Amino acid sequence: MLVNTAPLIKEAADQQTWIDLALPDLRTLSRELRSAAIEEVKRAEDTEGALKILFDHFGFIDESVLAVTILTPIANVAVMRDKLAHIVEKRPDSRERYVRHAIDTLAGPFEVWKVLYDNGGYRMAFINAYEAKNDMLVVVDVRNGHVLWNFMHAPARAMNRHRQGELLYKRYILEDKEKGSHLAALDV
């Protein structure tokens, strides 16, 4: 059995956060700013089945398709066939269930952040808030273009922790900041 001895790369500390920018808290975000709930995909029995779910939903119609592109508000993101296996390898997480959320988050994110990591590199964090128990984070690697790296769901409290770095995009406009109110209009 091979053990991965590569050091764990984490988000760097002391970056600008959503609090510094006086952005709304995902825990108390108004319904108007949330995306409609999306139905989860049925969990696969094994890694092979989970990978097939990802291939099917991302549009890998046959084995000759090595990459597909998703248009996002800030850049095209490549989904590479050979980069998807690690997303579903931790079977208790069953992340394939959230593939529709990942696609929706890339196409219509609530926010996109450029996040510095402790190795000096950057990744982009696409975040979406849903009218559901969990929100969505899609991580895009930017070392060799914009390549989907991972995605995960989490409650709003946990998702707020990923709202740091340089804010590249938000789909809303804040109004009435002086009064501390977060009235918002969708920026569509």
pLDDT tens for 86-137 read 999 888 889 999 999 999 999 999 999 999 999 999 999 999 999 999 999 9
**Distance of alpha carbon 66 from alpha carbon 46, whole angstroms:** 22
Q: Which domain holds residue 140?
A: 26-186
Any domain includes 107: yes
Any domain includes 15: no
Any domain includes 19: no
How many independent structural domains does the chain possess? 1
Any domain includes 102: yes
Any domain includes 11: no
End-to-end CA, the chain: 50
Query: What integer pLDDT is reported at residue 187 of this predicted model?
Result: 47
Any domain includes 144: yes
Any domain includes 113: yes
Any domain includes 17: no
**Distance of alpha carbon 16 from alpha carbon 174, whole angstroms:** 18
Query: What integer pLDDT is reported at residue 57 of this predicted model?
Result: 96
The DSSP 8-state label assigned to residue 35 in this structure reads B
Query: What integer pLDDT is reported at residue 188 of this predicted model?
Result: 42
Residues of the chain with pLDDT under 50: 178-185, 187-188
Query: What integer pLDDT is reported at residue 93 of this predicted model?
Result: 84
